[in-house]
Amino acid sequence: MFEELNNKKYSKAEILQMKPLALAFVGDCVYELYVRNFLITEKYRDVNELHRKSVFFVKAKAQAYILHMLEEELTEDEHNFVRRGRNAHPHTVPKNADVVDYRYATAYEALIGYLYLSGNSERLDYILRKSIEIGRMRDESRK
């Protein structure tokens, strides 16, 4: 889905030079776009419902949950980027988010940013598909 959007594949060395919050900045955008694309292919057509569903998938608590569910499947490199993202110190935390969830959400977004910028589209696609699957299971368990 994202191959045609990413004009430059960054080397691991270049990505390691980037701040974790910059990786999370990119990862946030990639994940949000993936979720929105997924939702418009589902039965949701009302914009308000699309927004509610989107928020359910992208809020800090959901991203933290997804990351915890994915942890055993991550490679050593991916764990390192997750750790860097989790240990980053954002200057603010949204009022609706728990600090621990927010740190794990930042870690998740840093992971997505790393995979996107490295051009590892196959692994990125797997992680995003798995994330949606985990999010759907979480959504179903609420009902």
Q: Active-site positions?
A: 28
Q: Give the Cα separation of 129 and 143 in Å (integer).
A: 22
Say how many C-beta atoms besides its own lie within 10 A of residue 1's C-beta. 13
Say how many C-beta atoms besides its own lie within 10 A of residue 97's C-beta. 16
Q: Give the Cα separation of 56 and 58 in Å (integer).
A: 6
Selection from 114, 143, 134, 124 nearest residue 65 by Cα: 134
Instruction: Read off the tokens for 107.
Output: 């870690």
Instruction: Read off the tokens for 100.
Output: 């621990």
Instruction: Read off the tokens for 17.
Output: 């030079």
Instruction: Report yes or no: 1 and 111 within 8 Å, Cβ to Cβ.
Output: no
